[in-house]
Structure formats: structure tokens, C-alpha cells
């Protein structure tokens, strides 16, 4: 009987391992962790831990902004209070039973992963960044995985994983638990509000001038941004599609045309205007375009800082301000060109797709019909070099309706371009002339010069791709009047101000994420067709433009009449005729 009584001792009194003496520090710590505790206590301790272990990007940024420790330490203390109270308030809704342990650990993992990317690429987890993450395809995910990610996650997650596994949650009556959780929520909110009121003089200008700080509070900002990007749209009213194509017609140039127009619009990815030699960059990254005497517009800015924001915006008739404020969706440039009777086609080498722009027109993925030999030489999984879009292009055009082709063709090619962080994958070996280059997606492991080399090689590859596309168009000049327009969707940070990649909120994103290249080329037939003056265009290359100009410039170039056309936004209008 005595033996039976001895074996029924509480688990918390037993050593974790038989080899550990009962009085060892490890065994005492383990027994202390394993004591029964309320879910609220666990929430408070977890919030304190996350504030300390998963918010180093925030503390570093406050130190950078504040200057001397005597200036920024009070702000750090206040932000620590707000971070703890905010996390406690959020987790108070989960303070119920031991079945919440997986959810608490999921929050820890989220905080660890977010901190890794904030430290590695200096991004912030705002709703647009979460929207990008949601739409990321497996190949892009693979580019973002690294041993550094695993190490950073383990450093943050191992301790709370062990603690959550060992701790026992004391059961409580449901009524008692409800009012105690409510008290915890009220106290957390009251402390946060009190802290903000006491230091409002310091806090208000700091947050007003550094909006990004609110998206660095981890994991609170990540959860908020996820809700804003994923959950909130579920409760919005269903958007109507507002038509704008009514009354669309072709202009007078089609009545007497000797040849129909063939216009190629290349939507670039992550290219920076200041890394194009055409725009004054010291390195010769664009020799192919220079040899073809293209027009390079040097002061062009994007609608957004990520593909999800920029691509639908640039094809919209609304312009950036009205596009972002819209309550319904509108037909876009591709709908208008199709309604005019032209043959339109969207060819995508971007795994994320056309972001809805091509949904109502013929479109295809550049890598879907490729044979195994081509995929082996040009692709890594479903991720291919942009030259793949030039394969079989004549056959793709021939497959379009003959009646529409006889009027004119508009082909959109959506590049993989310079998509990071694996810039080294965006160029083929024969164009890698800037060496050594960064050959990993863990950018912190590369020197700045290696990173720039990898990015510049991707620009050099885009230059060659555009040169080949122009050569293909010149080969079509006996049957078509041809032209090409290239512009990137957004730019990229390459370490300036400690930032990498793109997707920073537009209001405080650096210039390099918004300043984009835009290049045009016309053959003699298109220049004569639209009466374009080259000297006039050369004189306008420094005129300020944005992606708002794309919609109206294309309609003007293609001589498509629609009520939404605004001549003032047509970049070629003043040099035509």
C-alpha cells in the first residue's frame, strides 16, 4: 500500500529526467513551470516574453530614430508597455483552457517568422504586405526559405514551446472565467491608454512622422494586418463591375491603314529607374536598348510599391487616388481595347498572375505549354526566365481571331523581371557580367556589392529580353505597324536606409520603391501612322509621369476612342500630329 501511495505523487514533484537529481536547478525550474496556473497568467507571461524576444526590429528602429539613449529610452519603455498591454488585450480573448495552447504557440511562431523577415529585409507587416504573402506561390515561398529563418524561429520559439507544453492550466467555472478575462482586458487597455496620455507629447509626433512604427509592434500588428487583408474583405459588400466600354470605337487611322498595328506592352517587375544606364546609371546595364535608340522617360513613378497594388491601378481608368478610394470595380484598359475590336492577349511569366486585369480577355501562362527540354534549360520548377515568353509567339498570335487581328493586336507580356530576394535567378549565365553576385536569398549573408551585382545582372537580362522583343517586332514590320512600351510595376530597396525588397506603405516608402523605368520604341510605320515627332518626344523625356498616364497613353497611341480618355494624361499627345 505504501508503494502505491508513493507512486501517486503529483507529476510536478517528479524530476523531468530520472538522471536529474530532485534538487537540481533544472528540475526545480521544471516543477515551477509545470505548476497549475490560470490561462490569464499564461497570457500575461507570454505577452511579456514576446515583447522582449520578438520585437527587436521595433527597439532598433526607435533607437535609430531617437539618437541618444537619454532621448529614446523613455520612448522604448512606453512602446514596451503598449506592446505588452496590446498583446495581453488580444490574447485575453483566448484565455480559457488548455486547448488554447496550440493557438498560443501559433502566435509565437507567427511572431518569430515576422521578426526574421523584418530583421532580414527591413519590411513592415502592414495589410498590403500580408496581402502579398497570401498570394505568394510555392516557388516564391521557396526563395524566401533559408537556414537563417529556421535558426531565428528556433531562438524565439523553443523556450515558449517547452513552457506551454509543461504548464498545466487550472480549470475554472465559466462565469468566473468570463468576468476575470474581462477585468484583464480592461486593465490592459487602461494601462495602455494611461501610458499614451502621460507621454502623448512625445508619442503623437513620433507616430505621426513614423507611421511604419505601428506596423512593427509584434505580433499585434501582424494579427491586425492579417485581419485587415484577409478577414475584412469577407465582410465588405460585393463589388459590382462598372462598365466603361460602352461606345468604344476605333479612330480614323484604321479606315485607311495599310497595315494593322501590333503593340507590345511589357509590364516589368521590381525594376529601378536609377539602375538603367539609359537614365544615367554608371554601369552599362542597358546596352541592347541603347543600340535600338529607344525613348527612356526618366521621371516616372508607380501607383503602389507592390504588384497587387500597382498592376490593377495602372490599367484602371480612375487614376491612383480614385482607384484606391473606389467602392466598386471598373473595367480596365484591356476591356476597352477588346471592346474596340482589337485582338488582345495577356502572356504571364509571373506566378502571381495578372491580379484580375486579364480575367475577361484571352490569357495564358508562359510556362504551361513548354516541353520538358525547354523547361530544363529555362525554368526552375514553374519559375522561368523571361525569354520563355518569346517561344512560340508567332503561333500565339496566329491563334487569335483573324477578324480582330486584321484590325490590330495588343500583346501584354508580364515579366518575372528582377523579383527578389533571389535576384541571381533572374538572369542567365551569359548576361552575368557584374560579378561576384549574391547567390542566396538570405541577403544579410551577402556584401552590398554582391547584392547590387545580382540585381544589376537581372536588369541586364531585362535589357536583353526587351532587345529581343524589339527585334521580333521589327521582323513583323512587313505585316504590322509595330511599337513597344515597357514600364515596371514598382521599384526595390537594396539596403538604402536599412530597407530591402519592396512593399513599404506608399506614404513613407523610399523613392527607390516608387521611381520606375519606362521605355518606348516605335518602328517607322507606327511613327508615321500616329504622326509622332521624335525631336518632340526627346525633349519631353524628363517630364514627370506616373502609372496614371498608361491608360490614356495606350488609348491615344492605338487611336481608340472612349469616353474615359483624358488627353492631358496622354504622354504622347503633345508630340502627335
Q: Does residue 207 lie in a domain region?
A: yes
Q: 483 is written with which cell numbers?
A: 511599337
Q: Is the pLDDT of residue 7 over 60?
A: no
25 occurs within a structural domain = no
What's the half-sphere exposure (Cβ side, CA atoms, 13 Å) at 170? 10
In a shared domain, residues 415 and 276: yes
Question: Among residues 167, 201, 234, which one ends one of the domains?
Answer: 234
DSSP 19: T
Both 230 and 257 in one domain: the answer is: no
β-partners of residue 482 are 262
Instruction: Evaluate if residue 12 carries a pLDDT over 50.
Output: no
Residue ranges of alpha helices (H) inside 360-427 are 372-378, 393-398, 402-405
376 and 271, same domain (yes or no)? yes
Say whether pLDDT at 258 is over 60.
yes
Q: What is the pLDDT of residue 575?
A: 95
- 176-201 burial code (b ≥16 CB/10 A, e <16): ebeebbeebbeebeebbeebbeebee
Q: Yes or no: say if 229 and 376 are a contact pair by the CB < 8 Å rule.
A: no
Residues 227 and 250 in one domain: no
**Which residues on adjacent β-strands are paired with residue 364?**
347
Q: Are 245 and 222 within one domain?
A: no
Residue 72: pLDDT over 90: no
> Which residue in 516, 576, 522, 526 sits closest to 550, CA to CA?
516
- Asked, for residue 9, whether it belongs to a domain, the answer is no
- Rounded mean pLDDT of 483-500? 91
Contacts of 347 (CB under 8 A, 6+ apart): 363, 364, 366, 389, 396, 411, 412, 413, 414
Task: Sort strands 249-250 and 560-561 into parallel, antiparallel or unpaired.
Answer: antiparallel
Residue 310 contacts residue 357 (beta carbons within 8 Å): no
Higher local confidence (pLDDT), 96 or 523: 523
Q: Is the pLDDT of residue 150 over 60?
A: yes
Q: Which is higher by pLDDT, 445 or 362?
A: 362
SS3 295: strand
Q: What is the pLDDT of residues 163-218, one digit of tens each?
A: 888 888 888 888 888 988 899 999 999 998 888 777 766 676 677 667 778 888 88
Of 213, 234, 255, which residue constitutes the final position of a domain? Answer: 234
How would residue 370 be classed by pLDDT, with cut points 50, 70 and 90?
confident
Given a contact cutoff of 8 angstroms between Cβ atoms, the answer to whether 275 and 459 are in contact is yes
pLDDT of 561 above 80: yes
Of 24-33, 55-64, 236-245, 266-275, which has the strongest mean pLDDT? 266-275
Q: What value, to the nearest 5°, has the Cα angle with vertex 237 and ends 235 and 238?
A: 110
pLDDT of residue 413: 98
- Which of 234, 259, 284 terminates a domain? The answer is 234
My answer on whether 448 and 568 are in the same domain is yes
478: domain CATH number is 3.40.720.10
Residue 5 lies in a domain: no
Arithmetic mean of pLDDT, 91-100: 87
Non-local (6+) Cβ contacts of 513 within 8 A are 302, 305, 490, 491, 492, 493, 502, 503, 504
Cβ atoms of 308 and 134 within 8 Å: the answer is no
For the cut 50, the answer to whether the pLDDT of residue 13 exceeds it is no
Q: How buried is 245 (Cβ within 10 angstroms: 0-12 exposed, 13-18 middle, 19+ buried)?
A: middle
∠ Cα 446 451 453 (to 5°): 130
Residue 334 lies in a domain: yes
Residue 84 has pLDDT above 50, yes or no: yes
In a domain, 106, yes or no: yes
Instruction: Tell whether 226 and 251 lie within a shared domain.
Output: no
Query: Taking each helix axis from N to C terminus, what angle separates 147-166 and 39-53, rounded to the nearest 10 degrees?
Result: 160
pTM given for the model: 0.72
**CA 294 to CA 278: how far, in whole Å?**
9
φ/ψ (deg, to 5) at 280: 105, 5
Shared domain check, 264 and 159: no
- Exposed, middle or buried: residue 407 (CB in 10 Å: 0-12, 13-18, 19+)? middle
Integer Cα distance of 553 and 27 in angstroms = 73
254 and 127, same domain (yes or no): no
Cα separation, 428 vs 457, whole angstroms: 9
- For 463-484, the pLDDT digits (tens) are 999 999 999 999 999 999 999 9
The whole-angstrom separation of Cα 56 and Cα 117 is: 12
Coil, strand or helix: which one is 560?
strand
> What distance in Å separates the CA atoms of residue 327 and residue 318, rounded to the nearest whole number?
12
Does residue 207 share a domain with residue 250?
no
Question: Which DSSP category does 316 fall into?
Answer: -
- In the chain, how many domains are there? 2
What rounded mean pLDDT belongs to the chain? 88
For residues 142 and 492, the model is more confident at: 492
At residue 135 the predicted structure's pLDDT band, cuts being 50, 70 and 90, is: low
Residue 350 binned pLDDT confidence (cut-offs 50, 70, 90): confident
- C-alpha distances (whole Å) from 280 to each of 269, 286, 457, 494 are 20, 11, 17, 18
3 pLDDT more than 50:
no
| 258 belongs to a structural domain | yes
Q: Within 10 Å of residue 536's Cβ, how many Cβ atoms? A: 12
Q: Which residue has the cell 532598433?
A: 60
What's the start-to-end Cα distance of the chain, in Å?
107
What pLDDT score does 117 carry? 85
Q: Is residue 320's pLDDT more than 90? A: yes
Same domain for 365 and 437 = yes
Q: Which three cell numbers stand for residue 375?
A: 523547361
The x, y and z cell numbers of residue 8, run together, are 501517486
Q: Looking at 125-134, 166-175, 179-188, 407-416, which range is the least confident one?
A: 125-134
Question: Is residue 567 over pLDDT 80?
Answer: yes
Residue 219, φ and ψ in degrees, nearest 5: -95, 10
Comparison of pLDDT for 114 and 541, the residue scoring more: 541
Phi, psi of 410 (to 5 degrees): -125, 120
| Range of the structural domain that residue 137 is part of | 35-234
More confident call, 408 vs 172: 408
8 assigned to some structural domain: no
Are residues 228 and 295 both part of a single domain? no
Strands (DSSP E) contained in 317-361 are 329-330, 343-348
DSSP-H helix ranges across 315-433: 320-325, 333-339, 372-378, 393-398, 402-405
* Beta pairing, strands 500-501 & 261-268: unpaired
Residue whose C-alpha is closest to residue 551's, from 537, 563, 569: 569
Closest CA to 397 of 464, 480, 292, 334: 480
Residue 169: its pLDDT value, please? Answer: 87
Residue with cell 495577356: 346
Amino acid at each position: 500500500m505504501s508503494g502505491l501511495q508513493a507512486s501517486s505523487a503529483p507529476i510536478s514533484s517528479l524530476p523531468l529526467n530520472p538522471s536529474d537529481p530532485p534538487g537540481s536547478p533544472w528540475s526545480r525550474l521544471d516543477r515551477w513551470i509545470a505548476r497549475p496556473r490560470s490561462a490569464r497568467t499564461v497570457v500575461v507571461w507570454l505577452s511579456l516574453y514576446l515583447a522582449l524576444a520578438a520585437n527587436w526590429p521595433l527597439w532598433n528602429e526607435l533607437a535609430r530614430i531617437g539618437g541618444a539613449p537619454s532621448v529614446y529610452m523613455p520612448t522604448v519603455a512606453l512602446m514596451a508597455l503598449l506592446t505588452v498591454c496590446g498583446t495581453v488585450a488580444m490574447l485575453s480573448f483566448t484565455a480559457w483552457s488548455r486547448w488554447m495552447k496550440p493557438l498560443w504557440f501559433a502566435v509565437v511562431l507567427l511572431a518569430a517568422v515576422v521578426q526574421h523577415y523584418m530583421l532580414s529585409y527591413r519590411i513592415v507587416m502592414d495589410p498590403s504586405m500580408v496581402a502579398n504573402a497570401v498570394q505568394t506561390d510555392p516557388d516564391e515561398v521557396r526563395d524566401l526559405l533559408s537556414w537563417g529563418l529556421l535558426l531565428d524561429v528556433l531562438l524565439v520559439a523553443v523556450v515558449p514551446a517547452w513552457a506551454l507544453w509543461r504548464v498545466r492550466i487550472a480549470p475554472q467555472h465559466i462565469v468566473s472565467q468570463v468576468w476575470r478575462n474581462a477585468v484583464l482586458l480592461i486593465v490592459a487597455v487602461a494601462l495602455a491608454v494611461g501610458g499614451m496620455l502621460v507621454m502623448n507629447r512625445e508619442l503623437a509626433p513620433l507616430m505621426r512622422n513614423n507611421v511604419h512604427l505601428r506596423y512593427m509592434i509584434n505580433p499585434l500588428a501582424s494579427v491586425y494586418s492579417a485581419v485587415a487583408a484577409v478577414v475584412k474583405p469577407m465582410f465588405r459588400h460585393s463589388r459590382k463591375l462598372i462598365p466603361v466600354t460602352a461606345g468604344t470605337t476605333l479612330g480614323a487611322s484604321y479606315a485607311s491603314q495599310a497595315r494593322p498595328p501590333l503593340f507590345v506592352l511589357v509590364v516589368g517587375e521590381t525594376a529601378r529607374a536609377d539602375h538603367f544606364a539609359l537614365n544615367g546609371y554608371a554601369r552599362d546595364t542597358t546596352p541592347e536598348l541603347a543600340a535600338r535608340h529607344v525613348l527612356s522617360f526618366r521621371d516616372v513613378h508607380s501607383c503602389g510599391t507592390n504588384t497587387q497594388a500597382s498592376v490593377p491601378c495602372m490599367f484602371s481608368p480612375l487614376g491612383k487616388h480614385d482607384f484606391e478610394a473606389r467602392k466598386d470595380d471598373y473595367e480596365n484598359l484591356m476591356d476597352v481595347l477588346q471592346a474596340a475590336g482589337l485582338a488582345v492577349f495577356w502572356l504571364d511569366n509571373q506566378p502571381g498572375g495578372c491580379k484580375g486585369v486579364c480575367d475577361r480577355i484571352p490569357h495564358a501562362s508562359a510556362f504551361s505549354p513548354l516541353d520538358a527540354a525547354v523547361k530544363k534549360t529555362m525554368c526552375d520548377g514553374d519559375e522561368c526566365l523571361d525569354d520563355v515568353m518569346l517561344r512560340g509567339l508567332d503561333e500565339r498570335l496566329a491563334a487569335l481571331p483573324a477578324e480582330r487581328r486584321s484590325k490590330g493586336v495588343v500583346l501584354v507580356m508580364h515579366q518575372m523581371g528582377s523579383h527578389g530576394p533571389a535576384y541571381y535567378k533572374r538572369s542567365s549565365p551569359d548576361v552575368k557580367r557584374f560579378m561576384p553576385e549574391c547567390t542566396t536569398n538570405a541577403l544579410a549573408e551577402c556584401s552590398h556589392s554582391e547584392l547590387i551585382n545580382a540585381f544589376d545582372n537581372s536588369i541586364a537580362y531585362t535589357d536583353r529580353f526587351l532587345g529581343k522583343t524589339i527585334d521580333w517586332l521589327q521582323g513583323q514590320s512587313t505585316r504590322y505597324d509595330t511599337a513597344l512600351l515597357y514600364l515596371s510595376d514598382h521599384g526595390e530597396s537594396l539596403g538604402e536606409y536599412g530597407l530591402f525588397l519592396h512593399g513599404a506603405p506608399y506614404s513613407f516608402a523610399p523613392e527607390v520603391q516608387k521611381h520606375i523605368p519606362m521605355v518606348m520604341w516605335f518602328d517607322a510605320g507606327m511613327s508615321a501612322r500616329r504622326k509622332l515627332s521624335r525631336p518632340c518626344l526627346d525633349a519631353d523625356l524628363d517630364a514627370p509621369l506616373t502609372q496614371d498616364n498608361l491608360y490614356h497613353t495606350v488609348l491615344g497611341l492605338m487611336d481608340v476612342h472612349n469616353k474615359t480618355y483624358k488627353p492631358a494624361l496622354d504622354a504622347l499627345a503633345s508630340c502627335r500630329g
